[in-house]
Amino acid sequence: MSTTVTADIEVDVPVRVAYDHWTQFESFPHFLGGVESVRQFNDTTTHWVVKVGGVEREFDADISDQVPDDHVAWRSTTAETPHRGRVDFRPVDGDRTRIDLTIEWQPEGFVEKAGAALQVDDMQVKRDLHRFKEYVEKRETPDGAWRGEVHGGVEGTDPDLRM
pLDDT tens, 6-61?
Answer: 999 999 999 999 999 999 999 999 999 889 999 999 989 999 998 876 778 889 99
Please name which of 99, 124, 123, 142 lies closest in space to residue 11, comparing C-alpha atoms. 99
* Residue 40 exposure: Cα atoms within 13 Å on the Cβ side: 12
Query: Angle at the Cα of 82 (from 62 to 143), degrees rounded to 5?
Result: 35
Kindly indicate the confidence band of residue 80, based on its pLDDT and cuts at 50, 70 and 90: confident
Integer angstrom CA distances of residue 73 from 66, 137, 151: 6, 23, 10
Q: What is the CATH number of domain 3-142?
A: 3.30.530.20
pTM over 0.85: no
The 10 Å Cβ neighbour count of residue 157 is 12
Contacts of 119 (CB under 8 A, 6+ apart): none
